[in-house]
Amino acid sequence: MHAVTALPNPEPTVAAEQLDPRGEVLLDVRAISKSFGDRVVLQDMSMRVHAGEVVAFLGANGSGKSTTLRAVNGLIEADSGDITIAGVRLLEASAARRAEARRSAATVFQKIHLVQRRSVLHNVCAGGFARLPAWRSLPPLFGRELQAEALACLDRVGLADRAHDRAGSLSGGQQQRVAIARALCQRPRMILADEPVSALDPKAADDVMQLLHDLAADEGLGIAAVLHQPQLARAYADRIIGLRGGHLVFDAAVGEIDDALLATLYL
């Protein structure tokens, strides 16, 4: 089936959500659009991410993949449309409630943004900043509880043994796993991964995508990942969203997508 999945315009009822076989809807994006000056980069984009699933975004440069995630995490504001995160409709929420909802969707970037001279553990502790009073947001004041939580997050990504090494001493793939541990320390319901493996070698890219897949399967997190490698999307995602020129081309399960359909994204 190669048709675009059409999302209904009315708000879904609680009963409808409970009947969805894919589980709880953690992210519901409805008809968002975004322009920069005269350039339209996203037009009427709708999509969902459910608990426990990996959704991959594919498309050529400029197709609107990263713009969609940035509208969700608040790095940009959509010109129109509606976004609901973890049950919070952002249009109706207060500024504090919007910030809380967006914290439930942690972001992992292509540029990993670790503090290279700090320890791996301290970098992961940064994911818990929002839960600390301002006076305790400096590394010496993180506290044992947060450091224990950060160490558990590092253990989840397989790097607990590197906790006290400088972040700059790790390989690129290891640093990206540290960034995922930092995201986990935020206690998110979902992870938005914006080109998380585009700077990594194939083995490291596979390791990172396997980790994201396992977090969805084992922890029930929703994962939305912008990718440039269709083979990784097919290997690790449950569903693929294809964009071209700011428009949704298809939203389908991996098994419904063939090479011909993928090729339409890059014409």
**What pLDDT shows up at residue 133?**
55
Distance from CA of residue 161 to its chain's centroid? 26
Which two three-digit tokens encode residue 93? Answer: 């929420």
Yes or no: say if 262 and 230 are a contact pair by the CB < 8 Å rule: yes
**pTM, whole model, 2 decimals?**
0.88
**What pLDDT shows up at residue 132?**
62
Yes or no: say if 76 and 70 are a contact pair by the CB < 8 Å rule: yes
Hey, what domains does the chain have and what are their CATH numbers?
Answer: 35-264 (3.40.50.300)
**What pLDDT shows up at residue 8?**
38
One pLDDT digit (tens) per residue for the chain, 267 residues: 444 443 333 343 333 344 456 679 999 999 999 999 999 999 999 999 999 999 999 999 999 999 999 999 999 999 999 999 999 999 999 999 999 999 999 999 999 889 999 999 999 999 988 766 554 445 555 678 899 999 999 999 999 999 999 999 999 999 999 999 999 999 999 999 999 999 999 999 999 999 999 999 999 999 999 999 999 999 999 999 999 999 999 999 999 999 999 999 998
Instruction: State in Å, rounded, how far the first CA of the chain is from the last one.
Output: 20
β-pairing, 247-253 vs 39-50, is unpaired
Give the span between the Cα atoms of 133 and 265, in whole angstroms. 46
**What pLDDT shows up at residue 16?**
39
**What pLDDT shows up at residue 254?**
97
Give the span between the Cα atoms of 195 and 225, in whole angstroms. 7
**What pLDDT shows up at residue 22?**
65
Residue 186: name the closest of 96, 110, 108, 252 by CA.
Answer: 108
